[in-house]
Amino acid sequence: MLHLRLITPAGRTDDVVRLIETTVGTTHLVVLPGAARDPAGDVVMCDVAREAGDELIHGLRGLDLDRTGSIAVENIDLSLSRRADAAEAEAPGEGADAVLWEGLTEATHEESTLSVTYVAFITLATMIAACGVVLDNAILIVGAMAVGPEFGPLAGLCTALVRRRPRLAVRSGVALLVGFAVAMLVTVGFTCLMDVLGLFTKVQLEAERPNTNFIYRPDAFSFVVAVLAGIAGILSLTSAKSGALVGVAISVTTVPAAANAAVAFAFTEYRQAWGSTEQLLLNLVGIVLAGALTLLAQKWFWASRRERTARAGGS
């Protein structure tokens, strides 16, 4: 269940209440006339089944409530109520499958913002991966994948393409490009320092490296895994079950590929640098393509389900 707290102008309260009462899956409606001070107006609260939340939020935005008042949405971890159970039963679909498009847009907007913290994480992840490729240590590679924050901007690109949000697309693209550029540049310097200290050597990089040589040898499976990870990542973001996102992060060879390219460039091993760059681009394209198609499929699915529900209600 979701809890909505709304601030409505006094003249729009009746319209808002009517919308809530006619939306399938809502309950626990509370109206507090004149309770709001900034902005001034009434406070309206209700609970709604997650699978009906997007429709209700869309309707509230259609009443310009996001401009003239306020819409706040919270997840309810526990709700002991027969009315809540009945509302969830009435709403079409399952809550775990539902997509809150406004919540997705807001989440990806935050995750795709270029910030000092984002750059720090992607740089540290790339440096950890650099140690992994030189030492041929798969554990360090997996750790670097888990630390890397690059899936946020990738999800932002997917969302921007489906929802036609050019600003989000630009923000996500800038975060990806600048983040990887800074991370790779710092990793080149880190590699040179480690070389001077005798901790990294070109011989280590040019060795067979059975545990990590896949990073600079892209093949069809690289794209297949990127596509599967893109689907899983978007599903974990849009559903109520987001625990799979860590698994997605350690499934794609983005940060390790950037690290191997940086290390190879520092040692003038351009064959590996180019192969790693291909691996990086292949993964990025696969994730964005699969993620966007997954969002389109979810958008079509829920639109058709709402249409069937509306027809059933009309008959």
Helices 138-147 and 255-266: crossing angle, nearest 10°?
Answer: 120
Q: Give the pLDDT confidence score for residue 311 in this predicted structure.
A: 64
Same domain, 182 and 120: yes
Local confidence band at 244 (pLDDT 50, 70, 90 cut-offs): low
Q: Is residue 308's pLDDT more than 70?
A: no
Same domain, 38 and 68: yes
Task: Give the residue with greater pLDDT, 103 vs 219.
Answer: 219
Q: Give the pLDDT confidence score for residue 235 in this predicted structure.
A: 85
Can you tell me whether residue 239 is helix, strand or coil? Answer: coil
Same domain, 119 and 54: no
Same domain, 73 and 116: no
Same domain, 178 and 296: yes
Can you tell me whether residue 99 is helix, strand or coil? Answer: coil
Same domain, 145 and 66: no
For residue 41, list its beta bridge partners: 36
Expressed as residue numbers, the domain containing 43 is 2-98
Local confidence band at 233 (pLDDT 50, 70, 90 cut-offs): confident
Element (H, E) at 307: helix 270-314
Percent of the chain with pLDDT over 90: 56
- What CA–CA distance (Å, rounded) separates 77 from 1? 8
Q: Give the pLDDT confidence score for residue 26 in this predicted structure.
A: 93
- What CA–CA distance (Å, rounded) separates 86 from 34? 30
Choose one of 35, 68, 98: the last residue of a domain: 98
- What CA–CA distance (Å, rounded) separates 280 from 253? 7
Q: Choose among 142, 139, 140: nearest CA to 249.
A: 142
Contact at 8 Å (CB) between 184 and 258? Answer: yes
Count of domains forming the chain? 2
Same domain, 77 and 148: no
Q: Give the pLDDT confidence score for residue 309 in this predicted structure.
A: 60
Q: Is residue 315's pLDDT more than 60?
A: no
Same domain, 224 and 260: yes
Task: Name the DSSP letter for residue 267.
Answer: T
Q: What value does the mean pLDDT take over residues 137-144?
A: 92
Q: What are phi and psi of 32, to 5 degrees?
A: -120, 95
Question: Who's near 67: CB < 8 A, 6+ residues apart?
Answer: none
- What CA–CA distance (Å, rounded) separates 3 from 115? 31
Per-chain mean pLDDT for the chain: 88
Q: Is 99 exposed, middle or buried (0-12, 13-18, 19+ CB in 10 A)?
A: buried
Q: Give the pLDDT confidence score for residue 92 in this predicted structure.
A: 72
CB atoms within 10 A of CB 210: 9
Radius of gyration of the chain (CA): 24
Contact at 8 Å (CB) between 42 and 20? Answer: no
The 10s digit of each residue's pLDDT in 166-187 is: 998 999 999 999 999 999 999 9
89: domain CATH number is 3.30.70
Choose one of 39, 70, 98: the last residue of a domain: 98
Task: Name the DSSP letter for residue 32.
Answer: E
10 domain residue, yes or no: yes
Q: Give the pLDDT confidence score for residue 312 in this predicted structure.
A: 62
Same domain, 154 and 114: yes
Q: Give the pLDDT confidence score for residue 286 in this predicted structure.
A: 93
Same domain, 134 and 198: yes
